[in-house]
């Protein structure tokens, strides 16, 4: 699985990609925490969960980065050398599954919480989506660490069942509830479901690489790139879209808040009166 040798270019590519993911997750988490007052109090739970998801991902990518950096050494510093695996160390891929086990259920939680659905419906969606998400990740892991293609195939298949169930809940059941959402956010919610479907789809594709005989250093670098970009899109971009929805819903709920917060010169001119200023702090 892990290649014995990497060229300088392959090593640098993985090194820079892993660092890119750290920066993207860490600063999206910080941005979301700092930007909390830009939405009404009722939507801040969703923003905080989004920030926590990006924070957890940043933590795991620090671990993956350090593990990768230590696991390979070059025979020709500064030049066009070859990297081989360092004695006594091994690159650990399992981190990714630990990350997903924590973050994937939280990603679904973010989406449901920001919609501010009726309490009973929200509860019904969460008690089905969150266990399904945890089960999907837990079933994938034994296949990922197995060297045996049959085991990989069986666990991959089992893991697909909760994945399809999650898609059913998001694209069929949830759709019935979207007509109560403000017009301004319906398009964003639809796009988020597609983003979730498209980025989550990267993981089973990378998972299948060994099954279709696509192996070796190039396949491995491509898999790292796929996971890295999928994680940026599925967590950082996704969190920023949650923020966009929360902000649009805040403006729709409270025109006074919108007037204080709006920064466009075509917005109605309104001098902040103390009550409006107070609601900005709420």
Chain positions 87 to 146 lying near its own copies, rule: CB under 8 A, are: 87-92, 94-95, 97-99, 101-102, 113, 116-120, 122, 145
What is the phi/psi pair of residue 76, to 5°? -145, 90
The minimum distance between CB 97 and its own copies, in angstroms, equals 7
* Those residues with Cβ within 8 angstroms of residue 148's Cβ, 6 or more apart along the chain or in another chain: none
Residue 148 as a binder of its own copies (CB under 8 A): the answer is: no
Question: Residue 151's CB: how many other CB atoms inside 10 A?
Answer: 14
Nearer to its own copies among residue 167 and residue 240 (C-beta) = 240
Residue 191 as a binder of its own copies (CB under 8 A): the answer is: no
Here the tokens at position 44 are 């801040």
Residue 265 as a binder of its own copies (CB under 8 A): the answer is: yes
CA 176, CA 118: separation in Å to the nearest integer?
A: 13
The minimum distance between CB 279 and its own copies, in angstroms, equals 5
The minimum distance between CB 73 and its own copies, in angstroms, equals 4
Residue 80 as a binder of its own copies (CB under 8 A): the answer is: yes
# chain residues binding its own copies, by CB under 8 A: 96
Residue 82 as a binder of its own copies (CB under 8 A): the answer is: no
The pattern of x and - marking residues 46 through 65 that bind its own copies according to CB under 8 A reads: x-xx-xx--xx--xx--x--
CA 167, CA 158: separation in Å to the nearest integer?
A: 15
Span 225-254, contacts to its own copies by CB under 8 A? 253-254
The minimum distance between CB 204 and its own copies, in angstroms, equals 21
Distances from the Cα of 145 to the Cαs of 43, 98, 150, 156, 213, in angstroms?
39, 13, 12, 12, 16
Residue 73 as a binder of its own copies (CB under 8 A): the answer is: yes
Residue 6 as a binder of its own copies (CB under 8 A): the answer is: no
The minimum distance between CB 124 and its own copies, in angstroms, equals 13
Choose, by CB under 8 A, the member of 7, 8, 82, 124 that binds its own copies. Answer: 8
Residue 30 as a binder of its own copies (CB under 8 A): the answer is: yes
Rg (CA), the chain: 22
Here the tokens at position 9 are 């270019």
Residue 209 as a binder of its own copies (CB under 8 A): the answer is: no
Distances from the Cα of 22 to the Cαs of 114, 137, 174, 237, in angstroms?
25, 22, 32, 14
> CA nearest 238: which of 68, 108, 43, 86?
108
Residue 19 as a binder of its own copies (CB under 8 A): the answer is: yes
Angle, CA of 153, 223 and 202, to the nearest 5°: 65
Q: At what angle do helices 119-145 and 95-115 cross, to 10 degrees?
A: 170
3-state secondary structure of 278: helix
The minimum distance between CB 250 and its own copies, in angstroms, equals 10
């Amino acid at each position: 699985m892990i290649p014995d040798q990497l060229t300088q270019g392959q090593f640098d590519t993985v090194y820079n990609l892993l660092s890119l993911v750290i920066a993207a997750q860490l600063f999206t988490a910080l941005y979301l925490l700092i930007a909390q007052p830009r939405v009404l109090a009722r939507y801040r739970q969703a923003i905080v969960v989004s920030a926590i998801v990006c924070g957890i991902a940043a933590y795991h990518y620090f671990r993956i980065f350090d593990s990768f950096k230590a696991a390979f050494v070059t025979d020709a510093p500064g030049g066009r050398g070859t990297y081989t695996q360092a004695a006594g160390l091994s690159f650990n891929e399992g981190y990714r599954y630990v990350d997903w086990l924590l973050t994937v259920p939280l990603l679904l939680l973010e989406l449901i919480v920001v919609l501010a659905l009726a309490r009973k419906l929200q509860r019904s969606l969460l008690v089905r989506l969150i266990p399904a998400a945890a089960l999907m990740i837990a079933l994938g892991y034994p296949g990922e660490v197995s060297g045996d293609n049959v085991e990989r195939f069986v666990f991959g298949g089992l893991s697909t069942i909760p994945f399809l169930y999650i898609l059913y809940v998001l694209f069929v059941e949830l759709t019935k509830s979207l007509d109560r959402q403000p017009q301004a956010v319906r398009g964003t919610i639809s796009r988020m479901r597609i983003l979730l479907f498209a980025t989550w789809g990267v993981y089973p594709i990378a998972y299948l690489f060994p099954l279709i005989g696509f192996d070796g250093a190039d396949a491995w670098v491509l898999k790292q790139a796929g996971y890295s970009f999928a994680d940026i899109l599925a967590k950082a971009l996704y969190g920023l879209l949650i923020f966009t929805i929360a902000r649009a819903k805040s403006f729709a709920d409270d025109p006074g808040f919108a007037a204080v917060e709006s920064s466009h010169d075509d917005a109605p001119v309104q001098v902040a009166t103390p009550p409006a200023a107070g609601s900005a702090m709420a």
